[in-house]
Structure 1
Amino acid sequence: MAALTFSVVVTNYNYREFVLEAVDGALAQSRAPLEVIVVDDGSTDESVDLLQAHYGDDARVNLVVGPNGGQLTAFQRGLAKAKGDIVCFLDADDRWGPDYLRQVGEVFDARNDIDFVFSDVQLIGNESGRQGYAERATDLGYTVLGTWVRAHWYGAPTSALALRRRLAERVLDLPPEFVAQWRISADNCLVFGASVLGAKKYFLPTGQVDYRIHGRNGWWHDQKKAREFLAQFRSRCLINYYAQRMQLDIHALDLVKHEFKSRSQPTWKEACMYADIALRGPAVWWKRLERAIAILSRGARSKQK
């Protein structure tokens, strides 16, 4: 069987000082990508001239230039050019270590059932530290109900996300009103959309994604309550849109125990969340209680391991 191929979509908007490092890191992978698609979203800082000077004659790089439309528009433009089996996204102010694609590729190679892989990130720039879903590789199974009911985030920032291309095409098939709403933080579309559309997810700590914190992307440090509400409200509307596409209704909650069983190493916190979802279903009260207890019992056993 032919090896899976990777398309890397680098999105840039006025990150002239960082973008070459991002693109060079993608090109220097130990498992070489099929292509690196650099989408410039209407930069005004001479990013395009810099990119053309460095990569204009490089057959591995496809430079896509368009008017400013925001991050989701840049995702869509890049995906439209992608030919690889797997699509990885990379913000122009972030960077990858040389073994990122190799590690991610090993999961996709070994697991035909996995649709979505996300990694931990190492903070650089104005902050330091590590952010990740868990300390070790974790098969999350299906996350439809956890996302639909609780808006739980099963993912990572843009630069640590990899999806099968067919899934990415479904996820980013969004109407114009959503494109306007997600000019920033469009990784919500990738993360929430993949979950609700039924992707099977896997967390892989690679230690290979550097997530840069700097003056133009540290907006979350100044969040006010009203802004937090608006962000959560937009996310809920997005989740609801994907749920409508899948025709989810309250009867889907009867499948909560099966979704919980699809993950290999559930935490006690997850067990409590899924037990809560089980109690909300349409079944008779004793059946809902039975499911909740079964979920908590499995969570307790996993906690003891």
Structure 2
Amino acid sequence: MILRPKISVIITNYNYEEYVGHAIESVLSQTRLPDEIIVVDDGSTDSSRDIIRSYGERVQAVFQSNQGIKSVTNTAYGRTTGEIVMYLDSDDSFYPMAVERVEKAFGPGIVKVQFDLDVVDERGRRLGRRMPDFSHRTVTEAEVAREFNETGTYRWPVTSGNAYSRGFLKQVMPINSPVSLDGVLNTIAPLYGGIATISDPQGQYRVHQRNNSRMNSSGKVAFIPDFASRIRYRKQEFDILREHAARLGHELPSGDLLDNELVFVNYRIMARKLSREDESDRNRSLFDLGAKGIIAIGRGRFRWSVALKHVIWISSMTLLPAWLVRRLIEIRFSRTQWWSNVRGRLGGLSCG
């Protein structure tokens, strides 16, 4: 008889009454049902709690006062008993075989299984993108380890695209993360063991106006992200990485690890052009940042068409005047909402 590992799925929610039911249903519809489904509501003021209660004993409901994402993820973990723990944001969802595929991907020495997510709009319509997009190649455990040892980082998905071993979590939890738990967990995971990657999507990541990533430091929706804050948070996550590496006797690459992450090279360039950069970045040359971006693109092993788009974007951000860069940034970070509105209008016309 083969013993199956116990699997816990945690769904975290705050005022997502329009989405939380869909997230719960996606977990209850798995081909391999989790052994426990824990739904933590962080003080919602809409009808979320009534929706969660409607599932009765099929889920373990935890209702707490509003304490923020850092608290809710630690609270949720404390309720789990599974050997594998999966987090699902309540505005995202899993495809039916997600838990089954994750279970099969775990093996000796694996501390995390990660997978692609299809990007959808607020109505669940696919936008033709993946997060983070492993579609062009098979990513092996050895390749992730090599990339991490060379750069101090690797490509990983947002919260809903990760599953962690309890052995790993027991060593590092609770975590005092600068923002959400997944940033730190994904950053330090390669120090503790292997990372297995499922290249095809096992769920959906929903982009809408109330995503946490769209909120500025005042809690208001901002189409242009607060790049400086994101850079500061990422630096804090790398500080935590260095602490864990020192504790484990693991030598990290020298230099600024943010230079190895294309996203954050982009953020630094855009922050400079918008005159909103982090104070500690003011001594960086714009052309040096642009060069670091090109190097990161080459290291990323993108499809040639994707790599070309990245090169064009980095070059444009570096060379074009600030007023034009601002306009391009506005277009880029509002394109999902714009395209969703266009599709809604076209759908309305076809029904008229």
The one of 229, 232, 248 equivalent to 2:231 is 229
Q: Is the 8 A contact 1:172 1:190 kept in 2?
A: no
What residue identity is the alignment partner of 2:232? L
Cα distance, 1:233–1:30 mapped onto 2, change above 3 Å: same
More divergent stretch after superposition (72-81 vs 238-247): 238-247
3-state DSSP of counterpart to 1:141: helix
The one of 198, 201, 204 equivalent to 1:204 is 198
The aligned residue for residue 7 of structure 1 is 8
Report 1 or 2 for greater relative contact order, CA contacts < 8 Å, sequence distance ≥ 6: 1
Shift of 1:167: 1.1
The aligned residue for residue 189 of structure 1 is 184
The aligned residue for residue 62 of structure 1 is 60
Distance in 2 between the 1:113 and 1:75 partners? 24
Distance in 1 between the 2:67 and 2:138 partners? 36
What residue identity is the alignment partner of 1:210? Q
1:120 aligns with 2:113: no
Shift of 1:137: 3.8
Deviations along 1:117-157, one digit per CA (max 9) or x if unpaired, are: 10001000167122323534422238578558744234211
3-state DSSP of counterpart to 2:118: strand
Cα distance, 1:146–1:242 mapped onto 2, change above 3 Å: farther
Runs of 4+ in structure 1 deviating by more than 4 angstroms, as ranges, are 142-149
Gaps of 5+ in 1: 254-266, 272-305
Percent identity (aligned): 27
What residue identity is the alignment partner of 1:232? R
1:153 aligns with 2:154: yes
Q: Supply the RMSD in Å over aligned alpha carbons.
A: 2.8
Cα distance, 1:133–1:70 mapped onto 2, change above 3 Å: farther
Structural mapping, 1:1-305, within 5 Å = 1-52=2-53, 54-56=54-56, 58=57, 60-108=58-106, 111-125=107-121, 128=127, 129-131=129-131, 132-141=133-142, 147=148, 150-174=151-175, 178-179=176-177, 181-182=178-179, 185-196=180-191, 198-217=192-211, 218-219=213-214, 222-249=224-251, 269=299
Distance in 1 between the 2:145 and 2:246 partners? 12
Cα distance, 1:187–1:47 mapped onto 2, change above 3 Å: same
Q: Is the 8 A contact 1:103 1:206 kept in 2?
A: no
Cα distance, 1:72–1:171 mapped onto 2, change above 3 Å: farther
Distance in 1 between the 2:251 and 2:110 partners? 25
How many residues are treated as equivalent by the alignment?
Answer: 245
Question: What TM-score do you get using the length of structure 1 for normalisation?
Answer: 0.71
3-state DSSP of counterpart to 2:120: strand
Deviations along 1:56-79, one digit per CA (max 9) or x if unpaired, are: 3x2x31111122222232222111
3-state DSSP of counterpart to 1:215: coil
Deviations along 1:82-102, one digit per CA (max 9) or x if unpaired, are: 122211110000011111111
Deviations along 1:192-221, one digit per CA (max 9) or x if unpaired, are: 12123x220011023221000000115285
Cα distance, 1:234–1:55 mapped onto 2, change above 3 Å: same
Distance in 1 between the 2:249 and 2:64 partners? 35
What residue identity is the alignment partner of 1:90? L
3-state DSSP of counterpart to 2:18: helix
Gaps of 5+ in 2: 216-222, 255-296, 302-352
What residue identity is the alignment partner of 1:170? Q
Cα distance, 1:7–1:123 mapped onto 2, change above 3 Å: same
